[in-house]
Chain A
């Protein structure tokens, strides 16, 4: 079986077998990251570009290292947010990269749907590394990989995601992916940070963290960006932490062996306390390692498909 898609834009249309293939491929890549010589030839002769219209350290580095560990030629383009508005259009940039023989374009963009637009106009495989408030599929894949490593399976697990769901591409991709894999997802946010009709996606929503994390196998925090407070979604970071933050007292409602996760970067003391983030139950740092393995797997699967088609 091969990965069916030319691109990875969304987890909405990725089937269970495909997710399983990505996760099992990632599992076979994972030991390499602990070995002294991190080198394979899976991507030899491939060129991979990260095209980032938003600041990012971990996601961009993760893709870049994944490419390099597997022998690809990797380059990155960082475009400032202002260049989205003026200067070269996304499609012109995309076509230019395409003509240079790029096999995979990894794009992060502040606007939802930008990777989809790009993918329709280039031959290269496009990976969505986060678009606006829409999706961040590789983050959800690495989250699933991490959970599976600890719990052995995803089926039947209860995953509580707490934070700014409205603006979170991480939450949205996790809802789609975890659902496909048979996990139960519950969401918790102040009503001003919960998308419309979210429950129609098959999730339960809460405004009280204690209720959301009740009996959860995984508790995942989401980053609160300061500008969300400035936009008037909640009165202050202090009040947010008070009512919606993840702390040790609230985690007592979850299962005793519940994992604590966060896509990073963390606002310590806002969406999660340092005690919770650094506790033994936390796999936040491990998520970063999983990210490299998952991205190696994905790059391999997408480019291998290209070879078969040629």
Chain B
């Protein structure tokens, strides 16, 4: 079964056709003809490798009122994702092979076609006490381990998880926040927290934990992945560690590039997220970190919540932003349009690099790679409208924001799983 994507533009290569055979990219070249192939006309569009999300929450099992694997994978496809890694804080927690298998099975049988790679818990019940059954979960299909949402405060548990996980090829994806320093804070500590009268979270809460992880990774000579870096200091610590050869990788999230703590002034809890939205100088440092390779990837930390969990007092509201369907455009807006990053570099951040971190055969428009790709118009201007999200989570602080760059279609294994406008009929 063959598919020929005609007349698209492949970043770094210019106008090219892409020939796909049995779910694998066979040839990338101008003017390919294949009489036995189904043809997709990509005239005026870019052909990009599908985005790979290292960090999301699908909420299934147990929290289906926020999101489930069906709605979540549909939203992911609409956002241009072809692979997503879902965190373990479901109910029950994904700290055992049964839950891992459930997620994989449901994604395969009921999902939109996006690859779903579960991340298992570091500790049983995310309690930060005893290690979860990492080996059994690895056998069932997890791709990494994380207590995301709950930082691993105990450094000895962290060390053991890194060491034990390594036997199964599992890297810890760490949510870095020292909970004692967070101390009931709900937003970035600084001028705005003082102005708005909300409890602040010092940036040190994130940075001391990143530093600890970097030191553990260096001492043990084992890999570590830092989730959602949000501060300039965090970028600096990772940059220095990488310079010493520490096996450290890192991600940041679109909302840290596109939002600042100024947005919190409305007391609208859609702006509440962990780590919190920071400052413009942090945005600049993150962008510099993305440019120089300090930060490897952009991951959504897609965290859908029910309206009822956000339309409450700021302190009571749950943290998180629904990110699948805004990620591509927010990244395009801030990096490619706002900071003149070449599109091919942006593609590495959202696709190639995370695919390498996961050791998956996708993330590139090149012969031999999986035919997971998207068609995008990098210049199309549109207005973010939460009511049009396929995700159940409408919690975004970017509702009403004008952005450039739109996903027009998403393909997994050469099969179209999303086409812009198909759901508006």
Write the residues of chain A forming the contact surface with B, with a CB cutoff of 8 angstroms. 12, 84-85, 89-91, 109, 111-114, 116-117, 131-135, 169, 172, 195-198, 200-201
Q: Are A112 and B314 in contact (CB under 8 A)?
A: yes
Q: Are A196 and B313 in contact (CB under 8 A)?
A: no
Q: Are A201 and B313 in contact (CB under 8 A)?
A: no
C-alpha gap A122/B197 in the complex (Å): 23
Q: Which of A90, A113, A117, A197 contacts B198 (CB 8 A)?
A: A113
Cβ of A116: which chain B residues have Cβ within 8 Å of it? 266-267
Q: Are B194 and A111 in contact (CB under 8 A)?
A: no
Measured CB to CB, the closest approach of chain A to B233, in angstroms, equals 15
**Chain B residues numbered 141-192 whose CB sits less than 8 Å from any CB in chain A:** 189-191
B195 interface contact, C-beta 8 A = yes
* 19 additional contacts (CB under 8 A) given A89-B308, A196-B202: A84-B313, A84-B316, A85-B316, A112-B197, A112-B315, A116-B267, A117-B311, A131-B197, A134-B198, A135-B197, A172-B197, A195-B194, A196-B190, A196-B191, A196-B193, A197-B190, A197-B191, A198-B194, A200-B194
B200 interface contact, C-beta 8 A = yes
Q: Which of A91, A134, A200 contacts B197 (CB 8 A)?
A: A134
Q: Which of B194, B197, B266, B267 contacts A196 (CB 8 A)?
A: B194
Cβ of B189: which chain A residues have Cβ within 8 Å of it? 196
C-alpha gap A131/B266 in the complex (Å): 14
Cβ of A89: which chain B residues have Cβ within 8 Å of it? 308, 311-312
Q: Are A112 and B196 in contact (CB under 8 A)?
A: yes
Q: Are B200 and A196 in contact (CB under 8 A)?
A: yes
C-alpha gap A196/B199 in the complex (Å): 10
Cβ of A133: which chain B residues have Cβ within 8 Å of it? 197-199
Measured CB to CB, the closest approach of chain A to B206, in angstroms, equals 15
Measured CB to CB, the closest approach of chain A to B351, in angstroms, equals 38
Cβ of A113: which chain B residues have Cβ within 8 Å of it? 196-198, 267, 313-314
A196-B190, A196-B200, A197-B190 are contacts. A117–B313 as well, Cβ < 8 Å?
A: yes
Residue of A with least CB distance to B188: A196
C-alpha gap A90/B202 in the complex (Å): 29
Cβ of A111: which chain B residues have Cβ within 8 Å of it? 313-316
Q: Which of B267, B308, B312 contacts A112 (CB 8 A)?
A: B267
30 A-B pairs with C-beta separation under 8 A: A84-B313, A85-B316, A89-B308, A90-B313, A91-B311, A91-B312, A109-B313, A111-B314, A112-B197, A112-B198, A113-B196, A113-B267, A114-B313, A114-B314, A117-B267, A117-B311, A117-B313, A131-B197, A132-B197, A132-B198, A133-B198, A134-B198, A135-B197, A169-B197, A172-B197, A195-B200, A196-B190, A196-B191, A196-B202, A200-B194
Q: Which of B199, B266, B312 contacts A90 (CB 8 A)?
A: B312
Measured CB to CB, the closest approach of chain A to B281, in angstroms, equals 14
